[in-house]
Structure 1
Amino acid sequence: MLPAVINERVRLSVGAVGAQRVIGVVAGLVFVAGGTAFAVLPALASRWMTGFGGQAGGGECTVEGGTVDDLPPGLLEELGCSRSSSPFDWFEPVQLIGLLGLPFVVLGLGLVLRVLRSAVWLEGTHADVRGAVRTRRVDLSTAEITAGAVEQGSGHNRVRIPVLVARDPATGRRVTISLRGNAGGYLPPDELRALADAITRNRPGDGGRHGDAHAMARQLRERAERPLAI
């Protein structure tokens, strides 16, 4: 008989902690600061050059009994005025360069949110996976379960992290749960067993389309009995 699943909300040991979290947040803030500076400096430089060289775009003029558009071009130049052909004429071309900094701001904010928010909980047979912005929930006992891996690091420091991929066949919602603990190596044995129990709880017997799920659960239990570093 399968063991009862306690509907207690348990957080798995995944995600950055301690120094990893600090490094991730600092790196994200560096991207945010750099992107913000890149976005703002061209605008400040444009304003400074305008103030240094005079009114590059012309000043505001008031004409009694008419409008600026009624004045001849020569007189406009003497008055230091100009016609505005578009409400966006104030936007100098050099300021377009600043838009290149926005992706770095978004990247930095995403990194900070991911480091601070990423978490996985088990509640009965349900897994809640929280990312940088949203949280997804999948019932592991009815989901399609497959094994996978993601690569982290680069060069000689590159490692393959085993993951569990669960897909809700009804909605197509998919979650990915890392099997690497935040202390290195695999998740603690009790958490691996909890995942295996959630996968097989009330699931039809091994075979057919449920074969992959039962195979994954067996691997999790075997790993819990013989924990090894990744």
Structure 2
Amino acid sequence: MKVLVACEFSGRVRDAFRRLGHTAVSCDLRDSESKNGWHIKGDALKVVESGWESWDMMIAHPYCTFNNLAGIRWMYHPDDTALPAAERRRHPKWPTRMKDFLEGVDFFKRLQGCGIEKIAIENSMPHGLAMQHLGRYDQIVQPWMFGDPYTKAAALWLKGLPKLVATHSRDDYQEIYADCHTMPPGPDREKERSRTHPCIADAFARQWGGAV
């Protein structure tokens, strides 16, 4: 099976599929951290739109800073929280955030609407405005559902793929830890938070690797 892992620099999902014998290729504007497989450095949308028929499956991780629930507070002026959304001003520190958000929506939906038969798009927990544009996600998954005692919620929009089946429950752990909320601020925080948890990557490969 030929799998495109769009917007991935870590190589974790790509390598999980490769370990099961699939032809998996990652694509991102950044170099791949893992040198264990093929990587295209460039615009994932151009790769998809120039030859979507080449791929059996795509798993995409589009940039979600402007979609996620934690960032909605930066969308509007802090003095306008009591007003209807249509009447709120832009945030004084981030005046282009709505424009950036809508550009991200377009990127997401173009990936989602491409001709590849089986697609999973992963993002952090979205805010309500994002779901108005993107539609509601099909599933929320956590690392603890697949064997690692961590929380890091990932929303999945699925096309032609079944929901992932959890292999563990919270009762399997004495303690569950926050994977990314405790990360200190810094220039690499976004990059560190964006990596797919290894057990989630393995679940993608194991459960969807036989879907085609």
TM-score w.r.t. structure 2 length?
Answer: 0.21
Bigger Rg, structure 1 or 2: 1
Greater share of helix? 1
